């Protein structure tokens, strides 16, 4: 058996998997916000639960976390947990006397989908999470490549091309990172809601927009802008497949819509198309991806403190 943990801003989810990466048990606890000590107490409680359920003190367990993990120090930098500025890997080594792989959640999502998921068999795959924000991960030949500074694929903070904003009639929008016009502001779930507000004056959620036939022009504008993000990934990382995750990916026929929007942007006939698909493992992919890494016995990820 193998354990995987997804460390989020609101919950710490522990999943126990069998050797075929099928979920055997799940337990979620709230993520403490008060201190790193409280955070670690909740985390070790989840690891202890996995070990007890498996009956194996040496159970391999991997952990995914949102944010940047410094590859030199193992420190995490995140806006939504009390782990920011601390090395989770070092703290776990001190507590248990052994290593635990730790990686970015978008990278873990992509790794999961590359192993028995929608990106199975792809030499180069990108996992794109479209939720409240936007993030992405990259896998080469089924493994996580090194990422300088511990970054995942921070595509959400690339600027939206002026041509796309001109075509859709949308303005430059301020981003929480302090810059103007970041892609995240347009293609995330909140971005889709902003497009609807700007074009129609109506306040709606992404799923409400997708269910309303009158919102088709809004969805077309969103797809045009999201196609620019996909095109940027296509030109820079050359993935065979881009796997969509997050709440926005649950919209009906979203992969087909985005594939159609991406096609006209092709650089030329020599550029092989990138497949756009939705995730196979959904909400379990963060924990499942870290179970893949733990199962492989490879503590080296984006956290060198685990080696």
Q: Pick the residue with more confidence: 202 or 70? A: 202
Give CA–CA dist 90/76, Å, rounded.
11
- Domain 2-107+284-306 and domain 120-279 have a common topology: yes
Return the closest-CA partner of residue 275 out of 230, 222, 229, 209.
Answer: 230
Write down the domain spans for the chain. 2-107+284-306, 120-279
Residue 181 and residue 160 in contact, taking contact as beta carbons nearer than 8 Å = yes
Give pTM, 2 decimals.
Answer: 0.90
- If you classify domain 120-279 with CATH, what class do you get? alpha beta
Phi, psi of 225 (to 5 degrees): -70, -40
Tens digits of residue pLDDT in 48-92: 999 999 999 999 999 999 888 888 888 888 777 788 888 999 999
Q: What would the mean pLDDT of 285-302 be, rounded to a whole number?
A: 76
Nearest C-alpha neighbor of 302 from the set 77, 9, 13: 77
Residue 8: DSSP 8-state = -
- Fold exhibited by the domain 2-107+284-306: Nucleotidyltransferase; domain 5 (3.30.420)
For β-strands 241-245 and 102-104, DSSP reports them as: unpaired
pLDDT digits (tens, 9 = 90+) for 89-116: 999 999 999 999 999 999 999 999 999 9
């Amino acid at each position: 058996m193998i354990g995987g943990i997804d460390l989020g801003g609101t919950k710490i989810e522990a999943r126990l998997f069998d050797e075929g990466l099928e979920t055997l048990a799940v337990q979620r606890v709230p993520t403490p916000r008060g201190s790193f000590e409280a955070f670690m107490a909740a985390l070790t409680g989840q690891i202890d639960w996995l070990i007890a359920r498996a009956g194996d003190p040496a159970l391999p367990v991997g952990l995914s976390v949102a944010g940047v993990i410094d590859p030199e120090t193992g420190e995490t930098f995140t806006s939504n947990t009390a782990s920011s500025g601390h090395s989770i890997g070092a703290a776990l080594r001190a507590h248990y006397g052994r290593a635990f792989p730790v990686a970015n959640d978008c990278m873990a999502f992509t790794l999961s989908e590359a192993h028995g998921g929608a990106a199975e068999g792809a030499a180069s795959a990108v996992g794109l999470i479209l939720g409240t924000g936007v993030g992405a991960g990259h896998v080469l030949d089924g493994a996580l490549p090194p990422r300088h500074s511990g970054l995942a694929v921070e595509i959400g903070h690339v600027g939206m091309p002026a041509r796309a904003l001109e075509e859709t009639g949308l303005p430059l929008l301020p981003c929480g990172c302090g810059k103007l016009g970041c892609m995240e502001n347009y293609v995330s779930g909140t971005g889709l809601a902003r497009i609807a507000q700007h074009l129609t004056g109506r306040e709606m959620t992404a799923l409400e927009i997708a269910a309303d036939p009158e919102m088709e022009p809004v969805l077309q504008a969103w797809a045009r802008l999201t196609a620019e993000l996909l095109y940027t990934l296509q030109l820079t990382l050359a993935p065979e497949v881009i796997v969509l995750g997050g709440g926005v990916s649950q919209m009906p026929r979203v992969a087909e819509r985005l594939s159609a929007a991406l096609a006209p942007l092709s650089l030329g006939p020599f550029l092989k198309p990138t497949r756009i698909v939705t995730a196979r493992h959904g909400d379990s992919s963060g924990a499942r991806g870290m179970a893949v890494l733990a199962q492989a016995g490879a503590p080296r990820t984006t956290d060198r403190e685990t080696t």
